[in-house]
């Protein structure tokens, strides 16, 4: 279904970081192009709650509001691009998948996303570099 490299990218521009949703936390830590600040945040907060071989995609649907991961993603104002299947076509004439952007709060509030996580996949996480600087270690 997926190629080994699908959604396993890391790209940055002047103001944003774009991380593929199928990356594991360990792959992010091993990538030389990932900023030190993000690696420190992952090591200090995320890896205390999940194993290094956990993908962002697997982690996002199991985050709870009282977890450090939730607080960090909220503080970083991370945006999650989810490929969601809509029966009604989501404004199109036929059912299908559409990429929508969600915050961590929107993902946790929508029960339909968690209930259908088997048919939804995380394509990318976007983090503004300025928001990344706001997270204290």
Q: How confident is the model at residue 39 (pLDDT cuts 50, 70, 90)?
A: very high
Q: Whole-structure pTM over 0.75, yes or no?
A: yes
Q: What is the pLDDT of residue 90?
A: 60
Q: What is the pLDDT of residues 11-32, one digit of tens each?
A: 999 999 999 999 999 999 999 9
Query: What span, in angstroms and rounded, lies between the C-alpha atoms of 126 and 103?
Result: 10
Burial of 117 (0-12, 13-18, 19+ CB in 10 A): middle
Residue 36 pLDDT > 80 = yes
CA distances from residue 9 to 12, 34, 78, 132 in whole angstroms, order as listed: 10, 11, 16, 19
Q: What is the predicted pLDDT for the residue at 86?
A: 79
pLDDT for residue 114 is more than 60: yes
Pick the CATH number of 10-133 from 3.40.50.720, 3.30.465.10, 1.10.1040.10, 1.10.3210.10: 3.30.465.10
Q: How confident is the model at residue 119 (pLDDT cuts 50, 70, 90)?
A: confident
For 59-106, what is each residue's pLDDT tens digit? 998 999 999 999 999 999 999 999 988 777 666 667 888 889 999 999
The mean pLDDT of 25-46, rounded to a whole number, is: 96
Q: Give residue limits of the domains in the chain.
A: 10-133
């Amino acid at each position: 279904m997926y190629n080994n490299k699908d959604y396993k990218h890391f790209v940055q521009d002047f103001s944003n970081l774009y991380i593929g949703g199928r990356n594991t936390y360990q792959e992010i830590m091993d990538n030389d192009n990932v900023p030190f600040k993000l690696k420190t945040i992952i090591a200090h907060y995320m890896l205390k709650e999940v194993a290094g071989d956990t993908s962002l995609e697997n982690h996002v649907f199991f985050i709870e509001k009282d977890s450090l991961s939730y607080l960090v993603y909220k503080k970083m104002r991370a945006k999650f691009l989810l490929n969601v299947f809509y029966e009604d076509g989501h404004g199109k004439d036929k059912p299908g998948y559409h990429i929508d952007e969600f915050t961590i709060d929107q993902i946790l509030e929508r029960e339909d996303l968690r209930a259908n996580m088997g048919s939804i996949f995380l394509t990318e996480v976007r983090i503004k570099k300025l928001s990344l600087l706001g997270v204290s270690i």
